[in-house]
Amino acid sequence: MNSRISVAFDVDGTLIHQVGEREDTPRYDMITLFKMFQNLGCQMYVWSGSGMEYARRWCERLGLDAEVVGKGSFTPDLAFDDAETALAKVDIQV
């Protein structure tokens, strides 16, 4: 059994935000928070309502080392999302 805290971040609106109709930009405040949890030894996950391949591409673009999973496929300890959700033990809307 894994005793590390599991932390999930959504992609759209959380790790990135849309500037125009075609241009997405990183949210460096959220990326810094992601890396802080990672440095604390948490098990990191990234997911997206747009699918796993989409989330995987953004992880690569942003240089994030995380397991990509289907959104809502399990209940992490903590989840960050731009929308109000009930996906984790503790959900934080950003």
Tokens, residue 44: 């990191």
What CA–CA distance (Å, rounded) separates 13 from 51?
A: 15
Residue 55 has pLDDT above 70, yes or no: yes
* CA angle in degrees (0–180, nearest 5) for 9-4-55: 25
**Degrees (nearest 5) of the Cα angle 79, 62, 70?**
40
Q: Is the pTM of this model over 0.75?
A: yes
**Spans of all domains in the chain:** 6-93
Per-residue confidence (pLDDT) for residue 24, from 0 to 100: 86
Per-residue pLDDT reduced to its tens digit, 1-50:
467 999 999 999 999 997 766 678 999 999 999 999 999 999 999 999 99
Give one word for 41, left, alpha or beta, with left for phi > 0 and alpha for psi -120 to 50: left
